[in-house]
């Protein structure tokens, strides 16, 4: 497979994709009463249009002929990519639904551990064990650093909630959360964590097989839109939500938010996939885990830590320090493997 970027450039762009992954979910805070299921539905439709539009531009004249010819040699791989894309979109749906109830930071933390373990195992299974001396130790240590950082930051968020003087609206939110069905929440978090591993399954299958990168992106987006369309169509029909989802006789702002989310999510996906041949699947996955750090950046921007105590900020700073240390280990691994 062609390498499109040098190692340092690939790392920089992968970190940029992590910024995009850590930012797109902020549209939830702007959607108002519009259902999150509709937001996800449109996001993956716009993602499909974005990626295939780029592919059409990439192959301005003979993209169908070339794509069909190339794809014939990758039938099994394409099936894995489509499945991975479908899993990914459904996982995002379950994740956002439960985030409405428990909050973005907590769900990201709880699911991130399972997703990270599955992602690393999947990547190594497809790519093989790293051959550089000490590389496996650095990778596992970095992964452990990200896990620990995530939980420390989540604990800091919990401390912040205790520090702040809750306003009436926040009290109502707290009381609403107490009424949430715990078994349902745990089920949704588990589904989110497991299905999100579709990203690793699909990209690892495509990259390690040598499939052209643009086709990996295209088939991932196709799998995503197929999976989410089936699930959401059944749900919208059962709940009689089509009029609301289609924004009939209503403002079209949710559609614009979905477009922005599509650019952030699948735009980040595409950048990451193009960098994988230079970094390898496992290393690319780990650099991508820094997206959680940007979730906390947005929390600062939304002033969610306003009123937090000194101890809370120290704990949060410790968590961020672990992120930086884990990231440094990945840089060391990249340098030694060069």
Q: Is the pLDDT of residue 296 over 80?
A: no
Q: What is the pLDDT of residues 36-71, one digit of tens each?
A: 999 999 999 999 999 999 888 876 655 666 667 677
How much is the pLDDT for 84? 94
How much is the pLDDT for 338? 47
How much is the pLDDT for 224? 95
Quickly state the pLDDT bin for 327 (edges 50, 70, 90).
Answer: confident
- 164 or 293, greater pLDDT: 293
How much is the pLDDT for 80? 92
What are the extents of the domains in the chain?
A: 7-337
How much is the pLDDT for 225? 96
How much is the pLDDT for 221? 94
Q: Compute the average pLDDT of residues 5-12.
A: 86
Distance in angstroms (rounded) separating the CA atoms of residues 315 and 328: 20
Q: Is the pLDDT of residue 93 over 50?
A: yes
Retrieve residue 193's tokens: 């964590």
How much is the pLDDT for 81? 93
Quickly state the pLDDT bin for 89 (edges 50, 70, 90).
Answer: very high
Name the residue with tokens 């452990």.
Answer: 144
User: What's 116's DSSP letter?
Assistant: H
Q: Are the CB atoms for 273 and 207 separated by under 8 Å?
A: yes
Residue-averaged pLDDT of the chain: 80
Q: What is the pLDDT of residues 110-119, one digit of tens each?
A: 555 556 566 6
Q: Compute the average pLDDT of residues 150-172.
A: 67
Q: What is the pLDDT of residues 209-250, one digit of tens each?
A: 888 888 889 899 999 999 999 999 999 999 999 999 999 888
Retrieve residue 231's tokens: 């699930």
Whole-number Cα distances in Å, 159 to 110, 152, 162, 281 = 17, 10, 5, 36
Q: Is the pLDDT of residue 256 over 70?
A: yes
- 185 or 330, greater pLDDT: 330
Q: Which stretches within the chain are classed as H helix?
A: 7-21, 36-58, 63-71, 75-102, 104-127, 135-163, 168-178, 182-195, 198-209, 213-239, 242-245, 253-279, 281-288, 291-301, 310-337
How much is the pLDDT for 1? 55
Question: Which of 199-203, 244-248, 253-257, 287-291 has the least mean pLDDT?
Answer: 287-291
Quickly state the pLDDT bin for 261 (edges 50, 70, 90).
Answer: very high
How much is the pLDDT for 312? 85
Highest-pLDDT range among 30-34, 144-148, 205-209, 220-224:
220-224
How much is the pLDDT for 132? 65
Distance in angstroms (rounded) separating the CA atoms of residues 112 and 203: 18
Distance in angstroms (rounded) separating the CA atoms of residues 267 and 274: 11
| CA atoms within 13 A of residue 331's CA, in its CB half-sphere | 11
């Amino acid at each position: 497979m062609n390498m499109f970027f040098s190692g340092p450039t690939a790392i920089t762009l992968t970190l940029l994709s992590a910024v995009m992954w850590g930012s797109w979910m902020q549209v939830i805070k702007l959607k108002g009463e519009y259902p999150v299921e509709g937001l996800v539905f449109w996001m993956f439709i716009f993602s499909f249009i974005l990626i295939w539009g780029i592919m059409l531009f990439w192959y301005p004249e003979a993209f169908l002929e070339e794509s069909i010819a190339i794809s014939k040699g990758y039938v099994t791989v394409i099936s894995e990519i489509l499945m991975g894309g479908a899993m990914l979109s459904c996982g995002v749906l379950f994740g956002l639904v439960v985030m409405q109830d428990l909050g973005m930071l907590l769900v990201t933390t709880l699911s991130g551990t399972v997703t990270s373990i599955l992602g690393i195992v999947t990547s190594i299974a497809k790519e093989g064990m790293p051959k550089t001396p000490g590389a496996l130790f650095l990778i596992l240590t970095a992964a452990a650093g990200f896990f620990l950082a995530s939980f420390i930051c989540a604990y800091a968020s919990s401390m912040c909630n205790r520090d702040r003087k809750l306003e009436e609206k926040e009290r109502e939110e707290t009381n609403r959360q107490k009424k949430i069905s715990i078994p349902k929440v745990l089920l949704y978090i588990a589904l989110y964590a497991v299905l999100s591993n579709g990203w690793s399954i699909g990209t690892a299958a495509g990259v390690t097989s040598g499939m052209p990168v643009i086709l990996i992106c295209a088939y991932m987006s196709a799998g995503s839109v197929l999976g989410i369309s089936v699930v959401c169509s059944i749900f919208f029909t059962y709940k009689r939500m089509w009029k609301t989802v289609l924004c009939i006789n209503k403002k079209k702002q949710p559609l614009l938010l979905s477009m922005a989310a599509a650019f952030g999510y699948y735009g980040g996906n595409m950048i990451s996939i193009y960098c994988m041949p230079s970094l390898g699947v496992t290393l690319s996955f780990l650099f991508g885990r820094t997206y959680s750090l940007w979730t906390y950046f947005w929390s600062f921007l939304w002033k969610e830590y306003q009123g937090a105590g000194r101890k809370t900020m120290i704990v949060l700073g410790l968590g961020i320090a672990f992120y930086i240390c884990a990231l440094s280990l990945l840089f060391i691994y990249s340098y030694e493997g060069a």
